[in-house]
């Protein structure tokens, strides 16, 4: 992962793709969001979604996983180059999360993340605060998911 | 724990059953270490959510649940509170979500719901938006999460038309 000083507004990362299946949609929904249109094909078809639809919290959680995997890849590359690895801190939250279109069984969603703002933390001088727009796009090129997340990013120690 | 009322003969909660104000307090829901680690292993495999030793050195100072786990648990608690008997059409999103304190293994979490406003949809006359504020707190009363999200709920006329 990168340090605060290495990031720029506009930097975009492609995080990879994930296919939502009837199985993984129902497993998540049974635990966290057992509304009929997330559990049953027939109920999904009868709903405005027009098919078995993933819970929005499932889509967000999968995006989180893609972000963590990307961070691991970046840490591995830094390790190979013999560079110091930046350990990111927790997220204070997000805003403007939009479930723009249903994610239906069989859809493959490509996730991406783009830095939208960077500022120094007033209370924690060793940290910066990043905002990134995380998005999901389906196999037809339609934006289905968008949100702006914040995270604490470590600053390089001054020599 | 309170039980929101409905005026609908079917017992299904429709848009007209909601009004601004405090809606209810629900729970508690116990969250085990096993659940925290299982969710993190699948969706958020960062050391602070998986491993006590690694978590000690993190900003959160000990094993904590993924924020997405807490958000998903909030969804489940909203389902159990009222959505299971509401004419729900889903949600367009979440306006804001704040993770204010870590979810810890063994926490018993409580959900507080407020209806912020109710607005009929202009483009879809069969439904309205019920904007909710959800606050999740632990047994000590510390707020862990706060979110604001509009839900789409069928209007009585549309729900009745379907029998």
Tell me what percent of the residues of chain A surpass a pLDDT of 90: 84
Residues in chain A: 159
Confirm or reject contact between B93 and chain A (CB < 8 A).
Answer: yes
Mean pLDDT by 10 residues, chain B (163 residues): 61 94 98 98 95 82 95 98 96 98 97 98 96 98 98 92 69
pLDDT(A109) > 60: yes
Lowest-confidence segment of A84-88, A107-111, A144-148 by average pLDDT:
A84-88
State the pLDDT at residue B58: 78
- Checking ipTM against 0.90, whether it exceeds it is yes
Residue B5 lies in a domain: no
Chain A, residues 51-90, CB within 8 A of chain B, namely 53, 55-58, 60-62, 64-65, 68, 89-90
Q: Is the pLDDT of residue A1 over 70?
A: no
Q: Which domains does chain A have, with CATH numbers?
A: 4-154 (3.10.129.10)
Confidence label for A121 from pLDDT (cuts 50, 70 and 90): confident
The answer to whether residue B114 sits within a structural domain is: yes
pLDDT above 60 (res A159):
no
pLDDT at A147: 98
Distance from C-alpha of A1 to C-alpha of A95, rounded to nearest angstrom: 23
B101 reaches A (C-beta below 8 A): no
Measured from the Cβ of residue B148, the count of other Cβ atoms closer than 10 Å reads 16
Residues of B in contact with A47 (CB under 8 A): 89-90
* CB contact at 8 A, B23 and B4: yes
Cα–Cα distance between A110 and B134 in angstroms, integer? 30
- Buried b / exposed e along B57-79 (16+ C-beta atoms within 10 A): ebbbeebbbbbbbbbbbbbbbbb
| CATH number of the domain bearing residue B66 | 3.10.129.10
Q: What is the pLDDT of residue B106?
A: 98
Write down the mean pLDDT value for chain A. Answer: 94
Contact A65 B97 (CB under 8 A): no
Residues 6+ apart with CB under 8 A from A68: B44, B45, B46
E strand or H helix that includes residue B40: helix B33-43
> Closest to B76 (Cβ–Cβ): which among A32, A68, A99?
A32
Say how many domains are in chain B.
Answer: 1
With contacts defined as CB-CB under 8 Å, which chain A residues touch B35?
A: none
- B71 close contact with A: CB closer than 8 A: yes
What was the pLDDT predicted at B88?
A: 95
- How confident is the model at residue B10, as a pLDDT? 65
Domain range for B86 is 15-161
Residue A97 has pLDDT above 80, yes or no: yes
pLDDT for A21-60, tens place per residue?
Answer: 999 999 999 999 999 999 999 999 999 999 999 999 999 9
pTM recorded for the entire structure: 0.95
* CA triple A107-A113-A119, angle to 5 deg: 155
Q: How many CB pairs below 8 A link A and B?
A: 96
Please indicate, yes or no, if residue B76 is contained in any of the structural domains.
yes
Contact between A145 and A15 under an 8 Å Cβ cutoff? The reply is no
The H or E element spanning position B2 is none
A97 → closest Cβ in B45, B75, B94 = B94
């Amino acid at each position: 992962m990168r340090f605060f000083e290495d990031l720029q507004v506009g930097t975009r990362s492609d995080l990879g793709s994930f296919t939502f299946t009837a199985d993984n949609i129902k497993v998540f929904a049974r635990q966290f969001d057992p509304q009929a249109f997330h559990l049953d094909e027939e109920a999904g078809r009868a709903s405005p979604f027009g098919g078995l639809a993933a819970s929005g919290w499932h889509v967000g959680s999968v995006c989180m996983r893609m972000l963590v995997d990307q961070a691991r890849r970046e840490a591995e590359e830094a390790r190979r180059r013999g560079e110091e690895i930046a350990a990111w801190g927790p997220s204070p939250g997000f805003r403007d999360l939009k479930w723009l279109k249903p994610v239906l069984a069989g859809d493959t969603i490509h996730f991406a993340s783009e830095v939208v703002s960077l500022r120094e933390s007033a209370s924690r001088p060793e940290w910066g605060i990043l905002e990134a727009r995380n998005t999901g796009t389906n196999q037809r090129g339609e934006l289905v998911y968008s949100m702006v997340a914040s995270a604490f990013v470590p600053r390089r120690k001054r020599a | 724990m309170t039980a929101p009322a409905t005026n609908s003969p079917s017992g299904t909660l429709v848009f007209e059953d909601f009004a601004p104000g405090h809606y209810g307090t629900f729970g508690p829901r116990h969250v085990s270490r096993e659940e925290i680690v299982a969710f993190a292993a699948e969706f958020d495999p960062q050391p602070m959510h998986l491993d006590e030793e690694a978590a000690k050195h993190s900003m959160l100072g000990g094993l904590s649940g993924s924020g997405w786990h807490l958000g998903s648990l909030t969804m489940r608690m909203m389902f159990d509170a009222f959505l299971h008997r509401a004419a729900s059409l889903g949600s367009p999103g979440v306006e804001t979500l704040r993770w204010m304190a870590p979810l810890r293994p063994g926490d018993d979490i409580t959900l507080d719901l407020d209806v912020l406003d109710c607005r009929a949809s202009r483009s879809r006359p069969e439904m309205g938006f019920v904007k909710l504020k959800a606050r999740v707190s632990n047994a000590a009363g510390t707020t862990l999460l706060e979110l604001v999200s509009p839900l789409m709920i069928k209007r009585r006329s549309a729900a009745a038309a379907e029998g």
